[in-house]
Structure 1
């Protein structure tokens, strides 16, 4: 009850959420700001998408225009020069970016600059075989900026290596974040024997805490990440104190406790939906690329999130290798009865693991919230990937969870070059099954004798 009361308190700070994704394709939200960094309202835009469609929209009072793209691929954004604020224009036009179809909605932030290019051109579908980008006699929605024909042709001529490098970069980024969340799940299993089906909700909790801090309280992103880390640890502590410890004292079987975790997962999922609503939400962030090499464009939080994940993973490894508590945790994981006989406080170690697992899941959820949009059932959607990562790498191994997560992340993103996006989960699961058929203990797991 105390846990539900805490979540209800968080709901008092609820803000209006972004609209849900269009099922037919990828939803694009274009945010336009003027040279003074204030929202540019009533700017008419035309979006050319990969299906050869021209879709029009107008920015609202917040400078945002929502466009439902007909399919994933590349798109161009054109401006009606007559609706732009006086004396400013886009630095370049059309703004061509790649969409993956995996993240919905896709955000594009465009800042107008004083003296920006305001040449009138006619928007041309990106799928057109020869778009010259010159003005035509049709007079349809003129756009400010440079001629867009070169962007159209380059979208069609993207090389295999360019596509592969882009997929590998996104796969590695997602794999690191997945690994950060998976390690907590692996630690909890190794010390308690529990396959925690509510671990995905720990990740979702961290994402919503970051959204509340950065999106609703308008605080800095670093504060949001730190807050998710601390609150995630507190959430893990509350779970163990209010639920798992009493169940352990009653000596319930592991099967019964696992069923309780499934019930907790369902309960938390709908508490999240009640507090934050059913729609997709986004944590405010600048989604312009800050690192570009070749066809790879990485946003600020893609780079920073990967660095944070690597640093935390290294700290976890150092903790288990060189600290007294870390070595005690490894002893409990290896043999709980023997560890207790040597004087180790098993309950204290278990409590530390729940706090640490919750903290890692919380910060992973916050970083995933910056990587993509979040929703009430986000944890449930990645739970299978978390279990796959832990199983593939080896149950109960810290580095195994990381290796498994990176393989899963790469397999999912790279496979979309040949299979539909909807089948990427199938590819990841097939890889896990094949590896386990060859090596049942997982990549870094140890063989165990049964019987």
Structure 2
């Protein structure tokens, strides 16, 4: 019996060794059969994308049919530029990628590119990170291929975030940054004006205002994408529901708390709690994935170095019209004058016969509608998530503070100034630090004018 037990031990050892060898072989075969690189992602749903733009330096027109390869971080794919000279590459992960042109595919007689390849650093959430190339007979190609990926450089020795090269290219890039900054500033102003009016009439810093922005985008997505309504119906419905959401918040929560005489600090803490509740409720109902609204990525309006989509042009035009309507209401209508009176001196306004609670209710409805429209705009502009409003809330507060607390026109000016500075700062600093640059500008301005650009000193604090 002991002999049999002893003989079984070597057999057990051999079995274990054989099992280990089999497992190792299977793992090696699986690893060899696995794909060696990451697959491309649909640019419409990707969290980060690279926009490659190949242009003829003579007329700045896009060059179609140029082969482009993108490699880096396990990604290795080839693409071809479209009729507009562009190709948008969807990426699953952030990282550093090398964009290389296939010179053999450049049309004969057009010339050579200002760079053969560029290194593009893509941060999480970056959309359309640029990698631009110019083609001209006078260019000597950059064989090293280094660069920041902004596409304006013709020199491999530029520093990260900066742009060197011809003065024409630099001027074009500056103009493009200013235009896109103004467009985003109009988007920001829609949300900031509502927040500023709410603060002016109630002295409440509403940290749940970002969720009003998210709500508008989610309503547009629900009625436009899920229910299939056209945009001309989905957008007004989203704005109306945003106003209704603002009315509901004031009727159910803020008016009862005002009647109880709750002080501003506890009210502010309530807004933070409401923000968290709404944010995770949105994630529970609509999910945590990025949502996109139907948007044609092709250029609709090209003015020199500036290329704009239809949604950029239409959204900016609509924002301007809405802001003009808001200005007319505030300056020329009875309810607008009552809003300004309550904002200036609430007690005096009440003593003069103004129904303060009615004015506050109207402000909440208008602020909710404006925030919802901003949410629709941002959903078209850069996509939508359950926390989109919270992500831009800091910029909204910064714009209101910079423009002047409690003044609608100050919120507009602060939004435009902050957004343009934020975009221009990417000429010298990395893209993911542009918010920091904007906040530094805000701090410097407030050091010299604490009340903000259009604010009054008595509102400080």
2:183 counterpart of 1:173: yes
Identify the match of residue 316 of structure 1 among 317, 326, 332: 326
Other-structure match for 1:417:
427
Other-structure match for 2:173:
163
2:69 counterpart of 1:48: yes
Closer, same or farther: CA 282–368 of 1 in aligned 2, 3 Å: same
Other-structure match for 1:446:
456
Q: CA deviation at 1:447?
A: 2.1
The 3-state SS of whatever aligns with 1:297 is: strand
For the 8 Å contact 1:174–1:409, the answer to whether it is kept is yes
Q: CA deviation at 1:410?
A: 0.7
Q: Distance in 2 between matches of 1:395 and 1:450?
A: 8
Q: CA deviation at 1:211?
A: 1.3
For the 8 Å contact 1:233–1:354, the answer to whether it is kept is yes
Q: CA deviation at 1:299?
A: 0.5
2:397 counterpart of 1:376: no
2:350 counterpart of 1:340: yes
TM-score, normalising length: structure 2: 0.70
Closer, same or farther: CA 440–180 of 1 in aligned 2, 3 Å: same
- What CA RMSD, in Å, does the superposition of the two structures yield over aligned residues? 3.6
Q: Distance in 1 between matches of 2:348 and 2:151?
A: 67
Structure-to-structure mapping, 1:141-152, within 5 angstroms: none
Q: How many residues align?
A: 356
Other-structure match for 2:198:
188
Q: CA deviation at 1:250?
A: 0.8
For the 8 Å contact 2:49–2:89, the answer to whether it is kept is no
For the 8 Å contact 2:301–2:307, the answer to whether it is kept is yes
Q: CA deviation at 1:293?
A: 1.3
Closer, same or farther: CA 447–105 of 1 in aligned 2, 3 Å: closer
Q: Distance in 2 between matches of 1:332 and 1:352?
A: 12
Q: Distance in 1 between matches of 2:98 and 2:177?
A: 13
Structure 2 residue runs of 5 or longer lacking an equivalent are 1-42, 53-65, 81-87, 106-119, 131-140, 145-149, 155-164
For the 8 Å contact 2:451–2:460, the answer to whether it is kept is no
1:257-281 superposed Cα distances (whole Å, 9 cap, x missing partner): 1100000001111111111111211
1:3-47 superposed Cα distances (whole Å, 9 cap, x missing partner): xxxxxxxxxxxxxx97562xxxx33699xxxxxxxxxxxxxx975
Q: CA deviation at 1:48?
A: 2.7
2:244 counterpart of 1:222: no
For the 8 Å contact 1:20–1:279, the answer to whether it is kept is no
1:79-127 superposed Cα distances (whole Å, 9 cap, x missing partner): x9xxxxxxxxxxxxxxxxx99979645499xxxxxxxxxxxxxxxxxxx
Which structure has the greater CA radius of gyration?
A: 2
Q: Distance in 2 between matches of 1:76 and 1:224?
A: 42
2:268 counterpart of 1:258: yes
Q: Distance in 2 between matches of 1:172 and 1:73?
A: 30
Structure 1 residue runs of 5 or longer lacking an equivalent are 1-16, 31-44, 59-63, 81-97, 109-127, 132-151
Q: CA deviation at 1:216?
A: 1.5
2:255 counterpart of 1:233: no
Closer, same or farther: CA 319–340 of 1 in aligned 2, 3 Å: same
Q: CA deviation at 1:215?
A: 1.8
Q: Distance in 2 between matches of 1:429 and 1:255?
A: 24
Q: Distance in 2 between matches of 1:276 and 1:367?
A: 18
Other-structure match for 1:27:
49
1:312-367 superposed Cα distances (whole Å, 9 cap, x missing partner): 11111110111111111111111111111111111111100000000000001101
Q: CA deviation at 1:445?
A: 0.7
